[in-house]
Amino acid sequence: MSTVQYTYDPRHLEASEPTKYKPEDLTEEQMLINIGPQHPSTHGVLRFEVITDGEVVVDVVPHLGYLHRCFEKHAESMPFNQVIPYVDRLDYVGAMNNEHAYVMGVERMLGIENDIPKRTEYIRVLMAELNRLASHFVAIGTYGLDIGAVTPFLWMMRDREHILRMLEWVSGARMLYNYIWVGGLFYDLPVGFEERCKEFVTYLKPKLVETRDLLLNNKIYVERTANVGVLSRDLAINYGVTGPMLRASGLRFDLRRIDGYSVYPQLDFEIPVGEGTVGTVGDCWDRTWVRYRECEESVKIIEQCLEMLTKEHKRTRDYDPRAMVPKKIRPQAQDFYVRAENPKGELGFYFRADGRSDVPVRCKARSCCFSNLSVVPEISRGVLIADFIAIVGSVDFVLGEVDR
Amino acid sequence: MTHTDIQSLLQSEFGASCVPETIENATPKGLVISAEKLQDVCLFLRDNEQTYFDSLSCVTAIDNGMEASTIEVNYNLYSIPYNFQLLLRAIVARNEDGAELPMIPTVSDVWKTAEWHEREAFDLVGIKFDGHPDLRRILLPTDWQGHPLRKDYSTQEYYHGMKVDY
């Protein structure tokens, strides 16, 4: 095999990722600035082509595709159940949630979703909510970092580390778990997990209050984020924005309640919405506030799951998490669209099975971050460059899901 | 409302030929829409107070392969106030290798979110969207050859002097 030969040619960049605006399109006062590719809040790679007039942003053109790893093409070449490790790579800070959404879709397509043991479902929800916490910690922490606050970032990363340790204990991997399988789980919870998790919840509750006092009520932080990047509710719906971003715009819309999948109907939790406490409804502060409130609700869900897992659906000798795992998946010829509430919004999967094989004809992932990112140019026209950074951070996208 | 109710509603509005059939083996169930009327139908479904499909969840373009020789675009609509999902499907003929790409009217002026989804469909499956404000590739480089989610896609041999297929 020969080694890769590549000679640098400046024309290559111009041919592969040309800027939308050419120098002759700009007026004399305007300037083209590239922000990115590695902005701290993007957790990956993304380039914004920003047209500025002085300090004011005139237009923004996002350039995606630096991380493109062909999820959909790849999924067309292997059976449904073998895609799960790859699903983890979509939103790699919320991998359990991706798995939950995908597995739920396949199970519904096969018609076995009601046969899954309750203990399995509660473990799934517990894992998904733990991971939702971890994902929101990254969102809030790095957002603080964008604004210029380092301490909350360190605190949130410290607490996230506890969650990752527990998830590693469960699945054996730190970020990409492959734990939730079609029809069951990879393994039961390790012995002592419930107790450790309870201790963690007790530890976490005061830490959340600390974070709120330090970051969200901080005067500098409020000045930087309140009334910045206001996203109206109609615009959000029109752009397909979902998740905390849509709820911050004032719509009480959560698929965990609307679709009522898994065991969420049996659990008691609230859906926080943005109320414009310090600014306007749907501004950057509200988006982080909704994420913070969701952390509290997730803690509530985790407590209830632990209660169920230690009382009603206890670990028993004859409980086998893999009992329902099908040897071979044989879906009928059909199209299927299923969606779930991920930390960042609605993650949907569109499957098409041809009825002859267990390999999907088409497996499209409708990712939340993709739609959430598409609204950024709309809400950042006419703001200052510093505010633009605040807006980009408040969207909380993971590029693995944008590029897929 | 069920999808057959919506079908009769659309047939009385746009004529029977516009909504020829329903799609039963899909979840959510859906309707096949003739491609020319797509934009009007979507606008009607969004603004009609009986349907009020105010959000577009997903746009999926599927290449049905050389035998069927069709390409279809599936639109997953969702009505937030009615909590109802609907699938719309537009089918167009597939182009021969090297011929002009198939054309479908854009719905990006009905739902802005379609703008990026259509760019993605153009990029990966190779469908042109008539009236799209800014139809460029979104995930792949602009000078990439071919559309990877086509069934007959084969990678180009070299890209900027680098071997693509190893």
User: CA B22, CA B48: separation in Å to the nearest integer?
Assistant: 20
Q: Beta strands B30-33 and B84-93: pairing type?
A: parallel
Query: Could you read off the pLDDT of B4-62 as tens digits, one per residue?
Result: 889 999 998 888 888 888 898 888 899 999 988 899 999 999 998 888 999 999 999 99
Chain A / chain B CB contacts < 8 angstroms: 119
User: CA A99, CA A29: separation in Å to the nearest integer?
Assistant: 49
Tell me the residue type at A1.
M
- What pLDDT, on a 0 to 100 scale, did the predictor assign at position A2? 60
Q: B23: how many CB neighbours lie within 10 A of its CB? A: 18
Using omega within 30 degrees of 0 as the cis cutoff, is the peptide bond preceding B133 cis? no
Query: Could you read off the pLDDT of A45-103 as tens digits, one per residue?
Result: 788 999 999 999 999 999 888 888 888 988 999 999 899 999 998 888 889 999 999 99
What residues in chain A have per-residue pLDDT under 70? 1-5, 37-44
Which of A15, A20, A73 has the CB atom closest to B149's CB atom?
Answer: A73
Which of A12, A362, A370 has the CB atom closest to B62's CB atom?
Answer: A362
Contact between A168 and A190 under an 8 Å Cβ cutoff? The reply is no
Residue of B nearest to A242 (CA): B57
Which of B27, B142, B163 has the CB atom closest to A336's CB atom?
Answer: B27
Which of B111, B134, B136 has the CB atom closest to A240's CB atom?
Answer: B111
Burial class (CB within 10 angstroms; exposed 0-12, middle 13-18, buried 19+) of B13: middle
Which of B27, B76, B80 has the CB atom closest to A237's CB atom?
Answer: B80
Which residues in chain A touch residue B26, judged by CB atoms under 8 angstroms apart?
334-337
> For residues B97, B145, A399 and A287, what is the CA-based torsion angle, rounded to 10 degrees?
-60
> For residues A116, A118, A121 and A123, what is the CA-based torsion angle, rounded to 10 degrees?
-130
Residue of B nearest to A65 (CA): B139
Which residues in chain B touch residue A371, judged by CB atoms under 8 angstroms apart?
113, 116
- What pLDDT, on a 0 to 100 scale, did the predictor assign at position B160? 85
Which of A2, A333, A374 has the CB atom closest to B115's CB atom?
Answer: A374
Contact between B112 and B134 under an 8 Å Cβ cutoff? The reply is no
Length of chain B counted residue by residue: 166
Which residues in chain A touch residue B137, judged by CB atoms under 8 angstroms apart?
65
Which of B27, B76, B143 has the CB atom closest to A15's CB atom?
Answer: B143
Which residues in chain A touch residue B163, judged by CB atoms under 8 angstroms apart?
2, 4
Q: Do B112 and A374 touch (CB under 8 A)?
A: yes
- DSSP helix, strand, coil percent of chain A (3-state; round to 5): 50, 10, 40
Q: Do B161 and A6 touch (CB under 8 A)?
A: yes
Mutate to test the interface with B, among A235, A257, A362, A403 (most CBs of B within 10 A): A362
- What pLDDT, on a 0 to 100 scale, did the predictor assign at position A97? 93
Q: Do A240 and B28 touch (CB under 8 A)?
A: no
Query: Could you read off the pLDDT of A173-197 as tens digits, one per residue?
Result: 988 999 999 988 998 999 999 999 9
Contact between B125 and B63 under an 8 Å Cβ cutoff? The reply is yes
pTM, whole model, 2 decimals?
0.92
Q: Do A240 and B56 touch (CB under 8 A)?
A: yes
Q: Do A335 and B74 touch (CB under 8 A)?
A: yes
Enumerate residues 6+ apart whose C-beta is below 8 A from B102: B71, B92, B93, B94, B95, B126, B127, B128
Burial class (CB within 10 angstroms; exposed 0-12, middle 13-18, buried 19+) of B156: exposed
Q: Do B76 and A350 touch (CB under 8 A)?
A: yes
- If one compares B97 and A272, the residue with the highest pLDDT of the two is A272
Instruction: Kindly list the residues of chain B whose beta carbon comes within 8 Å of any beta carbon in chain A.
Output: 23, 25-28, 30, 54-58, 60, 62, 74, 76, 80, 83, 85, 87, 111-113, 115-116, 120, 124, 134, 136-144, 148-149, 160-163, 166
